[in-house]
A = this chain, B = another copy of it.
């Protein structure tokens, strides 16, 4: 029941199909299937179950810590501390063996050093780009006056993972600039 609360945490980006802000629960579902479908974009073979667990669990801390907008530098100052406290409380609701197991998976995602976490983190970057690209004038890019340079700088983890996904990300940005809802 505690997990139900993540359905009420709203992200900055919209969902183009539903024409409203996306919540973190449905974002996590979308990402998990992206992890399935795009696992071959990792240059190193990945453990599928670990990727799925990471993507399902990576944002549960937002139940307590809320969503931090990617381009809000002030809120990022204490993000790690707020999220670690949330992880203590939320994973702490589970029996101790599950607490230890799922907390380790969440920590591994945060650290971003393994093949699984590199794939998961890059997809977590890519997914809102795809949403914003499709949302056009109602995108969070348009709403907050974001520049292409900000998007590229913020999402280098995609470049580090996969040339194909980086090319896709660049195409989305270029089309958004041409259509006037992302600043050059």
Contact = CB atoms under 8 A, between A and B. Distances in A.
Contacts of A1: 16, 130, 134
Nearest to A34: B3
A61 to B, nearest CB: 13
Contacts of A163: none
Contact of A56 (B15, B36, B98): B36
Question: Chain A interface mostly helix, strand, loop or mixed?
Answer: helix
Given A1-B134, A56-B36, A18 B23 contact: yes
Interface of A: 1, 3-8, 15-19, 22-23, 25-26, 28-30, 32-33, 36-37, 48-49, 52-53, 56-57, 60, 94, 98, 102, 130-131, 134
The 6 A-B pairs at the shortest CB distance, nearest first, are namely A29-B29, A8-B18, A25-B26, A49-B49, A5-B17, A26-B26
